């Protein structure tokens, strides 16, 4: 009987794991993706959805058109829990037995980090999904009619600081395009120890280049910021400082999906999956994880606690490595180890009409090779990369660079 491989999640990490398994195992295993959405979203372009320069439709495609021609099954359903002892995934409508499980579900925002944070019961906007980005876009268009102070922040324990830089730069660029830049002060509040730390100790000349761009665009910033609370009109920091706003967008820490908390033995206290360098669960040999769902410890102690970024590229790599190790176990091949810190860094932080590009041989220091650049070419490159990536993934060509 063929091994049954269940992948939870159908975006970056999950889709790459599925295609890698199809590419290496062919018909030697049955691969099924269980996902709450039946479409793929190119998440890095959500920054442009907020400013109105990109429609959500442009960055989505139907998962079935990509995976079913390759013999990969899709179950459009919500996972409610995993019985790791009996190797069963329970969903809203069914249950599925597995021989191997890959958790690639991403994570949920932790709005509890500070009162008043978030688009539901709080006062700040968010960008990490199509609905949230669309809501932020509607509010942005309303804001543009009568601009005022603008605040973009990243709270304590956040990790995806690059997205914060992209948002503050793109919103500033949007104001300039509308001829309303002079009507708005802009402040960037970050838990990082210094501008451009990025949760990775700083990358080459990136801190210097970001600071130069901020000064040129008259963007104020506060590092080591602990966000205490957000009211309808003000952001309050722990040190007593207050920042009024007419529009605020905030990034927050992640926590694991609810089903992980409801599945004893699967995740840790934050709902993340503890894995080894093969992206294999440390206690469950037939369970793997990739992407934001993976537990990664920040190696640096900072004044204000911060997390670690897990970008789309990092998620792709983790998904591939997890899949390669499942294949190795099935086929009796040597496993592949790739510590998270040794994943290459490839990042383009868009700024609306320019971008800051970062390339390094590994995520954390020490590094042997680092390249950083700020130019309009990076902005054009990010637009072209979106089109290339969407074509590549839609056609299952994940072995291409």
| pLDDT of res. 401 | 80
Mean pLDDT to the nearest integer, 215-227:
98
Q: Show Cβ contacts of residue 360 under 8 Å, excluding neighbours closer than 6 positions.
A: 203, 204, 344, 345, 367, 369, 370, 371
* Least confidently predicted of 33-37, 225-229, 310-314, 393-397: 393-397
Q: Alpha-carbon Rg of the chain, whole angstroms?
A: 21
Question: Do residue 73 and residue 18 come from a single domain?
Answer: yes
Q: Tell me: pLDDT of 246 over 90.
A: yes
Residues 315-362 pLDDT 10s: 999 999 999 999 999 999 999 999 999 999 999 999 999 999 999 999
User: pLDDT band for position 396 (50/70/90)?
Assistant: confident
Whether residues 303 and 187 share a domain: the answer is: no
Q: What is the pLDDT of residue 175?
A: 98
Domain containing residue 283: CATH number: 3.50.50.60
Rounded to two decimals, the pTM is 0.96
As a whole number, mean pLDDT of residues 286-308 equals 97
The range of the structural domain enclosing residue 267 comes to 4-53+60-108+254-341
Please state, rounded to an integer, the average pLDDT across all residues of the chain: 96
Rounded to 10 deg, the angle between the 312-331 and 12-25 helix axes is 30
Average pLDDT value for residue range 233-253: 98
What percentage of the chain has pLDDT greater than the value 70?
A: 100
Q: 3-class SS at 79?
A: strand
Task: Tell me what the mean pLDDT of segment 58-65 comes to.
Answer: 95
- Among 305, 321, 341, where does a domain finish? 341
Quick check: is 390 in a domain?
Answer: no
What average pLDDT does range 222-231 have in this prediction? 98
357 in any annotated domain: no
Average pLDDT over residues 167-173: 98
pLDDT of residue 400: 82
| 289 has pLDDT over 90 | yes
User: What 3-state DSSP class applies to 364?
Assistant: coil
Please report whether residue 393 resides in a domain. Answer: no
* Overall average pLDDT of the 175-199 stretch: 98
E strands in 238-354: 242-244, 247-251, 254-255, 287-289, 345-350
| Shared domain check, 225 and 115 | yes
Residues 295 and 199 in one domain: no
**pLDDT tens for each residue of 126-138:** 999 999 999 999 9
Do 290 and 229 fall into the same domain? no
Q: Are residues 206 and 128 in the same domain?
A: yes
- Domain termination site, one of 203, 238, 253: 253
Q: Is residue 35 part of a domain?
A: yes
Provide the 3-class DSSP secondary structure of residue 350.
Answer: strand
Residue 399 has pLDDT above 90, yes or no: no
Retrieve residue 216's tokens.
């040129």
391 within a domain of the structure (yes/no): no
Q: What is the pLDDT of residue 121?
A: 87
pLDDT at 331: 96
Whether 248 and 258 share a structural domain: no
Same domain, 317 and 335: yes
- Is residue 244 over pLDDT 90? yes
Over residues 11-40, the pLDDT tens digits come to 999 999 999 999 999 999 999 999 999 999
Percent of the chain with pLDDT over 90: 97
Quick check: is 376 in a domain? no
| For residue 397, pLDDT beyond 90 | no
**Residue at a domain's end among 196, 225, 253:** 253
Please give the tally of structural domains in the chain.
2
Give yes or no for residue 374 having a pLDDT over 90: yes
- Residue 60 makes CB contacts below 8 A (sequence gap 6+) with 39, 40, 41, 42, 130
> What average pLDDT does this structure show over 254-276?
98
- 202 and 300 in one domain? no
What tokens appear for 171 in the block? Answer: 């919103």
Q: How many H helices and E strands in the chain? A: 9, 22
């Amino acid at each position: 009987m063929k091994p049954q491989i269940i992948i939870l999640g159908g975006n970056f990490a999950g889709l790459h794991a599925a295609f890698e398994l199809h590419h290496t195992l062919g018909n030697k295993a049955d691969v099924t993706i269980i996902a709450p959405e039946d479409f793929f979203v190119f998440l890095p372009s959500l920054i442009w959805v907020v400013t109105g320069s990109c429609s959500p439709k442009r960055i989505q495609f139907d998962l079935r058109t990509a995976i079913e021609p390759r013999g990969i099954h899709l179950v459009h359903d919500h996972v409610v829990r995993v019985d790791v002892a009996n190797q069963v995934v329970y969903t809203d409508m069914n249950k599925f037995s597995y021989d191997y499980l890959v958790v690639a579900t991403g994570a949920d925002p932790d709005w509890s980090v500070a009162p008043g944070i978030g688009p539901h019961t709080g006062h700040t906007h968010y960008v990490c999904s199509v609905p949230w980005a669309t809501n932020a876009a509607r509010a942005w268009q309303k804001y543009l009619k009568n601009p005022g102070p603008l605040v973009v922040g990243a709270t304590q324990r956040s990790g995806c600081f690059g997205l914060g830089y992209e948002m503050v730069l793109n919103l500033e660029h949007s104001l300039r395009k509308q001829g309303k830049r002079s009507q708005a002060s802009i402040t960037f509040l970050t838990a990082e120890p210094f501008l451009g730390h990025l949760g990775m100790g700083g990358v080459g000349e990136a801190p210097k280049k970001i600071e130069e761009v901020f000064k040129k665009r008259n963007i104020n910033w506060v590092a080591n910021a602990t966000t205490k609370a957000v009211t309808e009109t003000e952001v309050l920091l722990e040190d007593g400082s207050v920042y009024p706003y007419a529009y605020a967008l905030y990034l927050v820490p992640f926590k694991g999906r609810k089903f992980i908390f409801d599945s004893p033995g699967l995740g840790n206290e934050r709902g993340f999956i503890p894995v080894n360098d093969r992206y294999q669960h440390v206690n469950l040999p037939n369970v793997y994880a990739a992407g934001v769902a993976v537990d990664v410890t920040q190696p640096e102690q900072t004044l204000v606690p911060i997390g670690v970024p897990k970008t789309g590229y990092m998620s792709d790599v983790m998904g591939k490595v997890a899949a390669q190790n499942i294949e190795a176990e099935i086929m009796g091949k040597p496993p592949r180890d790739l510590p998270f810190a040794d994943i290459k860094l490839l990042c383009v932080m868009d700024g609306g009409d320019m971008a800051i590009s970062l390339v390094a041989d590994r995520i954390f220091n020490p590094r042997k090779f680092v390249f950083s650049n700020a130019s309009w070419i990076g902005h054009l490159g990010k637009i072209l990369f979106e089109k290339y990536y969407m074509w590549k993934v839609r056609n299952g060509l994940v072995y291409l660079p």
